[in-house]
Structure 1
Amino acid sequence: MLEAYSDSLFEAAHVLVDSSLRNSEQPGLRELELLRTLSFADVRRLAHPQRKLLLAGMLMARIRADDNIAAFELAEVTAERGFNRLLTPDPASEFHALEAALAEAYLATGYSTKAVLHAHRLLESVEEGASPEWELRTYGICAAAHAIDGDHRTAQSFLDRVARLKTQQGWPSDQVEFMDAIAEIVIAFTSMDGARIRLLRDATTRLPEREPTALSLVHLIQALALFADGDVTGTLAGSAIVAHGSDLPTGPSFIRMCALAIEAIVLIQRGTPAQALALLHDVPALHDHYVCFDVVRASAFILLGDYRAALQVTDGCMRERATHSRWMMPATLLRRAIANMRLGNPEEAATDGVDALDFVESVSPQLGLIMLPTRDLLSLGVRIFAEQPRLLPRLGKLQHDIRRLPKFITPSFPLPSLSPRERIIAIQLRGDKSYAELAADLHVSPSTVKSQANAVAKKLGAHTREEAVERLEQSGFYTIYGETPAA
């Protein structure tokens, strides 16, 4: 049955694959839907030499629809069954199409290491001979894969290749392709390079005309340009639109997750870390932490003064360190270093700080430095130098980077440092129950409840129960810890 439709299927695949090349026509909904609903089993039944092209089209259709689960499953079975092997009779163009689609599928689903693998398989083949348009696409994919994988030096080298190729071909230097833009914004935001972000904003204005799924990316870049200009309100509004899919419901999930993290970062920067924690409440960890929300949560806890929570929330990052996003790992380590330093664990603080500096060669530390108190960062630098004097040059650069950080507002009411039992009492203080009733609920004496309530009030500088509750509300305590006691 499918054989009868093979011509239209391959025509649709051709259109979709070619649409990713410079200045090509975009496919219609018919082509996308035709390929998106086709299964791997269907492809196996088609005895056609252009099977690679068809698989490439199927992968791209799933990516365009943001059907990431289906895209990942198809990518996995394609690679496992060896359907992406380059066989002697096969045209190289079909191999290019499939390897590019595999790399993009793994990027879309956050498997950057696998994306790098397929990007370099594509690169090796393209370097043996391909059109300039395919070279451009390949360099962009390689740049994006390395940027998200946390090797920004290599990513930049591929962006440099993109620039040279455009010069050689006489193509406009200010026309940016989708994958190039991904790499550019990851590098620019990580290094807090406002000038680069603004240039990218101007260069991507018309990108959605050539690549409709780029709309949310363009809006995110515009929001980050506002962040670079110090427009907190505009950044919040822009990132929220992207994060919640208001502009493009089927836009790339990766872009939406980045926008959600940006929204939380800006809430912290403006002095409302409790709101950031509320925004990320119930947001699950992504595999390999390819966008690491726990880093943002740890930042909020540090500014609120809950250093133990900052460590606890990043424990999962350390358990998954082998596979954790290298792009986000320096920020994770810096937060753990400061939390350990504040908790009186100088050796652990120095170890985490040294480990964070080991990433400086491949990833700018700027993104990892924002949302952290300058005094704590400088104290950490002194601690690291005492342990590792050889790191003085890197520490000097770090000190320079700290001076360039965007300013943030310190929360008016930091969280009080409460013991687990005091935290339970603090939560209960907001209710109407008397100390005797609370004691009965908690199976302790009224004097114990009163003693702990007094301890909470003293830490808050409050004189009455009502004043203590008011200060807990102002600090965001109830936003973070809820209305009911922990189990």
Structure 2
Amino acid sequence: MGTEAVEDAIREHMVGREWEDAIALVEVHWPALSQHRLEFLGTFLNAVPEGFLRTSPRLVAAKDYANFLPAAGNVRPNRYQHSPTHRGGLLDVLAELTSQSVAARFAGRFSDSVAAVREAQATIRDVSDTTLATIWPVLPDIRLQWAITLELGGMLSDASRCYEETYDEALQFGNNRIAVEAAGTIAFNYGFSGDRKRAENWLARRPTLSESQTDTVRVMGELGQALLAATALEPEQARASLDSALSDDIAPEPWALRLYTESILAVVDGDLRAQLARLSSTRGAHPESAWNNGLNAEILALAEAELSLSSGDMHATQRALTAVTWSGDLKPHATVLRAWAELRRGGAQKAVALAGTNTGRQVHVRVTAERLAVLAAANLALAQPKEAAAHFRSLIRLVLQEKLYSVLLRFTRTELETLIADTDEAHSPELTRVVTSLSLTLRQQRTLSLPNLSPRERVVLRHLVTDQTIQQIATTEHLSPNTIKSQARTIYRKLGVTNREQALRTVAATPEILT
């Protein structure tokens, strides 16, 4: 019997005041009704006489659930307006805390939202199985809201654990919609961390939904697929997955995660300027509270830094990374991007120091690969070919294992060719294929004739791409500031630029100028 037929049958029993028969149907078809007819379920449970409700703790819990928790889709923000005047049973408490958490989340108060979730989690930690059994059928939806809050609060590891619990409970009670959303988000998180095998495993574990394909619970899985495809340098597949994900108008909460995924794709296909403009305009279209804290603040900063780094704008990269207080699981990602920016500014030693920074958190596969890449390139710049080759060998093993091919886009053509030539492991057929496909997207795409700089001018240029002032450079080189200014003008002319900022971008795109 389909959900529509079940609803019709229950309505007939309601008209005839045949409450026992109606309740029996609800018990049998609870998963389908809670997934696809939640509004009707609330109407029915509110209509059941108190005498019948008192005979079943599950019905009491179900009534609270239907009144306090959201229906699917765009009505979610509106359903979280009710708040009990006093706390009663377990579900009363959990519903109130969840309501507070989601209300804070929608308002962009992510720390308050996470605090309410922590309190809710503590509430059920020591609850007996007997008591918990009275709310088990509704727990997946409650826990899903906790997981979303932890995710948007920047607690990705905690969120993934909560999503896994949600997934198991959702399958136990036949709530496939929630299982799809949980599995899809876990897959996205693993994709972000660079753990392809686990990401693909969770994508494969999503149950099949018989309802409309335009269901919001599919979005995170589709973003995860897009991220995996972009990382594997499969832009067409990534674009197809992004196109199949519902728009922000229909599924608004993951808007920043969508922007990040689009930005990684832009780094791969070279659409940097357009994506930077899109990132700025989309962020500006949201209230500041939606992007100045929590995961949104950090993921958007990473997106901007990725785009700026790939376009050769090291000042913009540093600006994006320093505009955010990194307090969550994303800090190691920011640190390794800072290392790349330092390297492209001529600070190979600083890059090595940053790449070796111990953040005190579990290191993601992607961060490990990025660190190895930074160390390989930095050791090349420091004329340490053996160390560079050792780091590159480790990088290649990881890149091939997880298809983290986009990490290779960090290198210039010269760097990559040098490292491959010195590394036997880099001559595998798969890597040869990848490097061939990279040839049109590496940052040093065109063949450049290096400017004819004198040894003295190269020394001054190395200073100019740092944060030193003209006076500091003059003091270091025992020259007058006017002499440094004169040499700088000559350098700019030879580089074909007119100012220091443009010179920095040129050097970032072609580091060989400094050697």
Instruction: Tell me whether the two structures share a fold, i.e. TM-score over 0.5.
Output: yes
For 1:52, the aligned partner's letter is L
2:404 is equivalent to residue 365 of structure 1: yes
Relative to structure 1, the CA distance from residue 55 to residue 426 in structure 2 (aligned partners, 3 Å threshold; closer, same or farther) is closer
- What residue in structure 1 maps to residue 443 of structure 2? 408
For 2:503, the aligned partner's letter is S
- What residue in structure 2 maps to residue 449 of structure 1? 478
Query: CA offset at residue 429 of structure 1?
Result: 3.9
- What residue in structure 1 maps to residue 416 of structure 2? 377
Q: For the Cα contact (< 8 Å) 2:351–2:375, is it kept in 1?
A: yes
3-state SS, counterpart of residue 288 of structure 1 = coil
2:278 is equivalent to residue 238 of structure 1: yes
For 1:475, the aligned partner's letter is A
2:208 is equivalent to residue 165 of structure 1: yes
- What residue in structure 2 maps to residue 101 of structure 1? 145
* 350, 367, 372: which one aligns with 1:309: 350
Gaps of 5+ in 2: 1-60, 509-515
Relative to structure 1, the CA distance from residue 75 to residue 146 in structure 2 (aligned partners, 3 Å threshold; closer, same or farther) is farther
Relative to structure 1, the CA distance from residue 378 to residue 407 in structure 2 (aligned partners, 3 Å threshold; closer, same or farther) is closer
* 324, 345, 352: which one aligns with 2:363: 324
Query: CA offset at residue 160 of structure 1?
Result: 2.7
- What residue in structure 2 maps to residue 476 of structure 1? 504
Relative to structure 1, the CA distance from residue 457 to residue 295 in structure 2 (aligned partners, 3 Å threshold; closer, same or farther) is farther
* 245, 253, 261: which one aligns with 1:213: 253
3-state SS, counterpart of residue 213 of structure 1 = coil
* 113, 118, 122: which one aligns with 1:71: 113
The 2-side partners of 1:215 and 1:112 are apart by 16
For 1:117, the aligned partner's letter is R
- What residue in structure 2 maps to residue 57 of structure 1? 99
Number of aligned positions between the proteins = 433
Query: CA offset at residue 330 of structure 1?
Result: 1.3
Relative to structure 1, the CA distance from residue 93 to residue 56 in structure 2 (aligned partners, 3 Å threshold; closer, same or farther) is farther
The 2-side partners of 1:206 and 1:16 are apart by 27
2:401 is equivalent to residue 345 of structure 1: no
- What residue in structure 1 maps to residue 4 of structure 2? none
Relative to structure 1, the CA distance from residue 202 to residue 308 in structure 2 (aligned partners, 3 Å threshold; closer, same or farther) is same
Q: Which digits, 9 at most, give the CA deviation of each residue in 1:191-218, with x for residues without a partner?
A: 3331123213322354532x33344555
2:181 is equivalent to residue 137 of structure 1: yes
Relative to structure 1, the CA distance from residue 418 to residue 55 in structure 2 (aligned partners, 3 Å threshold; closer, same or farther) is farther
2:288 is equivalent to residue 259 of structure 1: no
Query: CA offset at residue 182 of structure 1?
Result: 4.0
3-state SS, counterpart of residue 450 of structure 1 = coil
Q: Which digits, 9 at most, give the CA deviation of each residue in 1:437-479, with x for residues without a partner?
A: x6xxx9xxxxx72299979988x79589xx9x966454239x9
The 1-side partners of 2:423 and 2:221 are apart by 36
Q: For the Cα contact (< 8 Å) 2:379–2:385, is it kept in 1?
A: yes
The 1-side partners of 2:265 and 2:68 are apart by 31
The 1-side partners of 2:238 and 2:182 are apart by 23
Relative to structure 1, the CA distance from residue 46 to residue 132 in structure 2 (aligned partners, 3 Å threshold; closer, same or farther) is same
- What residue in structure 2 maps to residue 125 of structure 1? 169
Q: For the Cα contact (< 8 Å) 1:56–1:101, is it kept in 2?
A: yes
Relative to structure 1, the CA distance from residue 58 to residue 329 in structure 2 (aligned partners, 3 Å threshold; closer, same or farther) is farther
Query: CA offset at residue 68 of structure 1?
Result: 1.9
C-alpha root-mean-square deviation of aligned residues, in Å? 4.6
TM-score (norm 2): 0.68
Q: For the Cα contact (< 8 Å) 1:216–1:248, is it kept in 2?
A: no
- What residue in structure 2 maps to residue 296 of structure 1? 337
The 2-side partners of 1:476 and 1:52 are apart by 55
Q: For the Cα contact (< 8 Å) 1:15–1:25, is it kept in 2?
A: no
Q: For the Cα contact (< 8 Å) 1:96–1:125, is it kept in 2?
A: yes
Query: CA offset at residue 54 of structure 1?
Result: 3.7
* 397, 402, 405: which one aligns with 2:430: 397
2:314 is equivalent to residue 273 of structure 1: yes
Q: For the Cα contact (< 8 Å) 1:15–1:26, is it kept in 2?
A: no
Relative to structure 1, the CA distance from residue 181 to residue 322 in structure 2 (aligned partners, 3 Å threshold; closer, same or farther) is same
Matches within 5 A, 1:216-227: 216-218=256-258
Relative to structure 1, the CA distance from residue 100 to residue 217 in structure 2 (aligned partners, 3 Å threshold; closer, same or farther) is same
For 2:504, the aligned partner's letter is G
Q: For the Cα contact (< 8 Å) 2:80–2:103, is it kept in 1?
A: yes
The 2-side partners of 1:90 and 1:453 are apart by 81
Query: CA offset at residue 108 of structure 1?
Result: 1.8
For 2:384, the aligned partner's letter is N
The 1-side partners of 2:114 and 2:150 are apart by 7
For 1:59, the aligned partner's letter is S
- What residue in structure 1 maps to residue 7 of structure 2? none
Query: CA offset at residue 180 of structure 1?
Result: 2.0
Question: For structure 1, which segment, 330-339 or 222-231, has the greater mean C-alpha deviation from structure 2 after superposition?
Answer: 222-231
The 1-side partners of 2:263 and 2:171 are apart by 37
Q: For the Cα contact (< 8 Å) 1:425–1:449, is it kept in 2?
A: no
Query: CA offset at residue 314 of structure 1?
Result: 3.0
The 2-side partners of 1:254 and 1:111 are apart by 8
Q: For the Cα contact (< 8 Å) 2:336–2:371, is it kept in 1?
A: yes
Q: In percent, how many aligned pairs have the same letter? A: 14
For 1:102, the aligned partner's letter is W
Relative to structure 1, the CA distance from residue 212 to residue 285 in structure 2 (aligned partners, 3 Å threshold; closer, same or farther) is closer
Query: CA offset at residue 334 of structure 1?
Result: 0.9
